[in-house]
Chains A and B, each alone.
Chain A
Amino acid sequence: MRLESLREQTPFLAGLSDQAIGLLEPVTADAGFAAGELIFEEDGPADTFYVITSGKVALEIELPSRGTSVVETLGPGSLLGVSWPFPPARWNWRARAVDTTSAIAFDASAVRGLCVANQELGAHVYRSVAAEAVRRLHATRIRLLDLYGSER
């Protein structure tokens, strides 16, 4: 039971009932990425999302004439991918492993289907993804203030 052991330290899974964990378990798989390995590409289909169990993943974007910029890094316990529940289910950023990284991969299409079929699971999953999106939005807004910049 790969999900059971992760439930306490993973916000996405915390609070899920045993029954809900049992529903999700069959649509997951272990995943591993070498340092530097591409996990998903900007504009690619959001067909697999992840919960990181070790290592670090960078969300990147390619800036013409400025190279690659990292906008956020995610570590153990983090949900990698928040666009998959919502149409058009497409990634907005590129994800790349910074270090050797292990994760649990979720079949996004299957999870969407389970959320429709099981209201309790659906409510939990969408609430968890929304909470993570809100947390990232808040952090991004604070960073937009450029607080560490010097003012004259």
Chain B
Amino acid sequence: MTSQLVVHPDEAMLPRSFRLVDKSYETADTVTLIFEDPDGAPLAFEPGQFMMIYVFGVGEIPISIAGNPHLPHDLVHTVRAVGAVTDALCALRPGDMVGIRGPFGTSWPLEQAVGRDLVIVTGGIGLAPLRPAVLEALNRNADFNSIALVYGARTPGDLLYRDDLLGWVSTPEMRVEVTVDRAGTDWWGDVGLVTGLIPRLDFEPVNTSVFVCGPEVMMRVVARDLRDRGVPADHISLSIERNMKCAIGFCGHCQYGSDFVCRTGPVGSYERFEQRLRVSEI
């Protein structure tokens, strides 16, 4: 898939117009938006990559792709309203146009996980960048020894992709564990930190690939627990979020130590990021 996704530098800064065709509310402040090319052209991507989305007259921001890699005519993004541009994105209505650039960045190393146990750990809106990887893993589940998803959220009302979750819980191809930080007595799942669910999973540590996406502190404690359990550091992949602007490694806004996250990230190995995850200034 990689070869067809390279964006030529001359074209990388030129937005294409996409139209919003569907909008659904995940939570009170989070929406899933589906865009399409008005000419019907597909947009191929790899799980984990991101797009630069330009809301005309407001600004441009990086947003991970949350759609199914096998449905390249639907460009899917899940957006939480946390600032001017995301507020404007969440306020879009079907028919509205945006500018898009991309896809950019590295992807979840699904090929490296072939033949291994695959454990996907995510928290909060971190499920959005991992949703394409989950869909792809399920699509080719025979390639993996086992697949498990561990998902944490603030409350049951903050869970994303409820329809997906209901389907995933009932599929025999993937074990799904969901936990929240707090809940009432009407919640059927677990209450507690995501790390508390990992001991329930049955995987062979040295033959396991782990994809982790969520708040950096969560990724740190998850990775530490997995290392304690014997998963090699280079088998653990994280998605690092930084302030991408140009998305092609020129401007330096997303510099993270020796990396420009837009080029060498957002997905990278825990082995590479481990020391930097403890430094608050980068």
Contacts and interface: CB of A to CB of B under 8 A. Distances in A.
Contacts of A147: 123-124, 214-215, 217-218
Nearest to B216: A147
Contacts of B29: 150
B123 A148 contact: yes
A148 B219 CA distance: 12
Interface in B199-219: 199-200, 214-215, 217-218
Contacts of B179: 73
A71 B182 contact: yes
Nearest to B219: A147
Given A56-B190, A147-B123, A68 B195 contact: no
Interface string A59-98: 0100000011111110111000000000000000000101
A138 to B, nearest CB: 8
A58 interface: yes
Interface of B: 29, 80-83, 123-125, 152-154, 158, 179, 181-185, 187-193, 195-196, 199-200, 214-215, 217-218, 221
Interface size class of A (residues with CB under 8 A): 20 to 34
B191 A77 contact: no
Interface of A: 56, 58, 60, 67-73, 75-77, 96, 98, 139, 142-143, 145-152
A149 B184 contact: no
A77 B153 CA distance: 23
